[in-house]
Amino acid sequence: MQKARGLQVLDHMWVEGSYFCRGPETRAMRFAFTNYGVSVGLQAVDAMPERIRSLNAYFETYRSGRIRSRGNTHVMHAVRTFPAV
């Protein structure tokens, strides 16, 4: 039941062709760290493989414009790339 509900919520949070937003009122807000976590979770339950590919591709080139990058985002990038290692 939790998996079905989680996937349903994620379906509503999907911004077509790119990433999962933070919430219905913040569809334009993009966070690589959060999306990497979603990617790992979806891979764990073997769900939404097309969306995983899309969001991973999107965040390969997306840059937030922040001057300094957070180390934990780079760690999540590696984890979503190789979640089973």
Domain hosting 45: range is 2-81
Tell me the pLDDT tens digit for each residue of 4-57.
999 999 999 999 989 999 887 888 888 888 888 899 899 989 999 999 999 989
DSSP strand pairing (19-20 vs 14-15): antiparallel
Question: And the tokens for 16?
Answer: 């077509």
pTM: 0.77
The answer to whether the beta carbons of residues 52 and 14 sit under 8 Å apart is: no
Q: How confident is the model at residue 78 (pLDDT cuts 50, 70, 90)?
A: low
User: What is the number of domains present in the chain?
Assistant: 1
